Each structure stands twice: as C-alpha cells, then as structure tokens.
Structure 1
Amino acid sequence: MTKQLKTIKIIHLAISLGVILAYIILGDKTYFTNFETPKVNSDSFIFMTIPLAAYFIANFLYKSQIKKNDKTLSLDRKFAIYHTATIMRLAVLEGGAFLILILKPELILFGILIILYIIFIRPTEDQFKRDFNIR
C-alpha cells in the first residue's frame, strides 16, 4: 500500500513546492515587509472569492470522484480513483493560487492561504482508508 501512496505523495510534494517557488519568485514581497493590508474595493472583492471558489470546487470534485467507489473494486482500482481525485483537487487549488498571483498580486495573502491548505491536505494512508471505509 505504501508504494501506491508514494506516487501521489511525490505529486503532492511537487505541486506544493512548485506553487511555493512561484510565489517566492513572482510574488510581491513588499506587502509582507511593510505589513500592508491590501485595499479592498469592489474590484478586489471578485478576486477575494477565488480562494473560496477553489476550495469548494476542489472538494466537490474530490468527493464526487470518491463516490465512484464500489465495495467490489480491488484495492488497486481504489488507489486509481484516489489518485485521480487527489490530482483533481490539487489542480483546482493550484489554479486558484496562480490566478491570484497573476491577476491580483496585492492579494497574495489569499494565495498563501490556498498554499497552506494544499500542504494541509497531504495524502496519507489514514485519509485513504477513511475515504474508502477500509479498516
């Protein structure tokens, strides 16, 4: 079981490090060095919904893939469903983080929240067992 999880853990690590490096290289660090809070207006409100939309869409896609689980499926097929669901979730979150970075870099804090969530949802054996009701 650990061999199948190793692949998805490497993909998770690559996506996490890729987004972090993009934020380090392309991010506007002046908002952190001066501790400036971004000015919120009606234009920036639309961009503030990107993290929420990414969160809800990513989790919806993940759960809809996990629901394709059938008790009669083999463990390898369940891992394939888990890999697909996890990659879909990470891709949506990564897209949301990049959208914020490219379109509205002064709202970098919201992108960092997405990055923290990406790190938080690290795939584990316990999560796999919990999602597929394996004991």
Structure 2
Amino acid sequence: MKEKLKVIKIIHLALCLGVLLGYFIIGDLKSFDFLKIPSINSSSVIYLLIPLIAYVLSNYLYKKKLQNISSKKNLEDNMVEYQSASIIRWAILEYAAFAILILNKIFLIFGILIILYLSLLHPTEDKIKNDIDNFGS
C-alpha cells in the first residue's frame, strides 16, 4: 500500500509543480500586479466561469468514477481506480489553470486559486479511505 500511495503522491506533486512552474515562467509573477482583482464585465465573465466550471466538473467526474469502486474490496485493490479518478480531477483543474494563464494573464489570481485548491487535494491514506467509503458502491 505504501508504494501505491507514494506513486499517487509523486503524480500529484508533479502536476502541482508543473503548473506552478508554468505560472512562474509564463505568468511573470515577479511583480505583485497579479494580486489585483480585475474588473469583471460581460466580456470577461468567462474567466470567472473557468475556475467554477473546473471545480464542479472535476468533483463531479471524481465522484462518478469513485462510484465504480467496491468498498467491499481492500484498499490496495481499489487504488488503481482511485488513482485514475484523482488524475482526472487534477487534470481538469490543471487544464483550467493553464487556460486562464494562456487566454488572459490579467486573471492570474483565479488560476492561482485553482493551484491552491489543487495543492489542497494532496492524497493521504486517510483521505483515500474516507473517499472510498463515502463515494464507493
């Protein structure tokens, strides 16, 4: 179990560091101008919707994928399904963060919020057990 947990932690860390590196290189975070909340008008509301849609979609697909897991199996047998559910969730959030970065750098603060949320989703054995018990069939 510890080896499988180590693998999923490394995947999560690589995704987080990759998107952070992208933000530092492309996002030009040297100044703190990105902390200013930009004005939202009708043409820029899509940049506010990207994180919201990513949050809802990633959690929905994550829970949907976890429903395929049998809570009657032991934890090690369920790790492959849990890992794929987590990767789907993280990939959607990573894509949303990069989409904001590439489409409009004025809204970097929303991408940074996605990155913070992504980092909070780090896997632990307790979280894995809890999610499988709550969402597994």
CA distance in 1, matches of 2:34, 2:87: 36
Asked if structure 1 preserves the Cα contact closer than 8 Å seen for 2:34 and 2:108, the reply is no
User: Where does residue 85 of structure 2 map in the other structure?
Assistant: 85
Identity fraction in percent? 46
Q: Tell me how far 1:37 sits from its aligned partner.
A: 3.2
Unaligned runs of 5+ in 2: none
User: Where does residue 112 of structure 1 map in the other structure?
Assistant: 112
Q: Structure 1 29/132 Cα, relative in aligned 2: closer, same or farther at 3 Å?
A: closer
Q: What is the RMSD computed on CA atoms of the aligned residues?
A: 1.9
Q: Structure 1 34/8 Cα, relative in aligned 2: closer, same or farther at 3 Å?
A: closer
Unaligned runs of 5+ in 1: none
User: Where does residue 95 of structure 2 map in the other structure?
Assistant: 95
CA distance in 2, matches of 1:34, 1:93: 19
Q: Tell me how far 1:31 sits from its aligned partner.
A: 6.6
Q: Structure 1 30/38 Cα, relative in aligned 2: closer, same or farther at 3 Å?
A: farther
Q: Tell me how far 1:77 sits from its aligned partner.
A: 2.9
Secondary structure of 2:44's counterpart equals helix
Residue identity in the other structure for 1:112: I
Q: Tell me how far 1:73 sits from its aligned partner.
A: 3.2
Q: Tell me how far 1:74 sits from its aligned partner.
A: 4.5
Secondary structure of 2:43's counterpart equals helix
User: Where does residue 10 of structure 1 map in the other structure?
Assistant: 10
User: Where does residue 130 of structure 1 map in the other structure?
Assistant: 130
CA distance in 1, matches of 2:83, 2:112: 24
Q: How many residues are treated as equivalent by the alignment? A: 134
CA distance in 2, matches of 1:34, 1:70: 44
